[in-house]
């Protein structure tokens, strides 16, 4: 799964810590999601989308291999 979290976060001028605090997760979780090591739950994906004011499909995209 491809994710555009880092791009969207930087567009909003948010640091990883700020985004983590806004969605009440640890900074490690944001790092893991951005690096593609961790796929977030639906709930966390929706929270991220809400905070970044984007649709979930913009933040996370399915790839051919998925």
Partner 1 sequence: MQFLLPHRFKKIGAVIAPVGFFIWLSMQLGYVTRILIFMVGANTAEQYSAAISIATITIAFISFFSFLGGVYFVTFSKEKVEDEMVARTRLDSFQLAALVQLISMIVGFLSMIIIKEPDESGWLLFFIGTIFLFWIFFIGRFNYILHIRIRE
Binding residues for partner 1, rule: CB under 8 A, are 20, 24-26, 28-29, 31-33, 38, 40-41, 43-44
Q: Where are the alpha helices (DSSP H) in 12-41?
A: 16-22, 27-34
Shortest reach from residue 48's CB to partner 1, in Å = 12
Q: Name which of 43 and 62 has its Cβ closer to partner 1.
A: 43
Between 44 and 58, CB nearer to partner 1: 44
Is-contact 49 6, C-beta < 8 A? Answer: no
Quick one: which H or E segment has residue 2?
strand 2-3
Q: Which two tokens stand for residue 55?
A: 């649709």
Smallest separation, CB 50 to partner 1 (Å): 16
């Amino acid at each position: 799964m491809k994710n555009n979290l880092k791009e969207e976060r930087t567009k909003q001028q948010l640091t990883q810590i700020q985004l983590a605090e806004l969605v009440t997760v640890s900074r490690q979780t944001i790092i893991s999601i951005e690096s593609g090591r961790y796929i977030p739950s639906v709930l966390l994906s929706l929270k991220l989308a809400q905070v970044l004011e984007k649709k979930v499909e913009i933040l996370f995209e399915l790839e051919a291999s998925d």
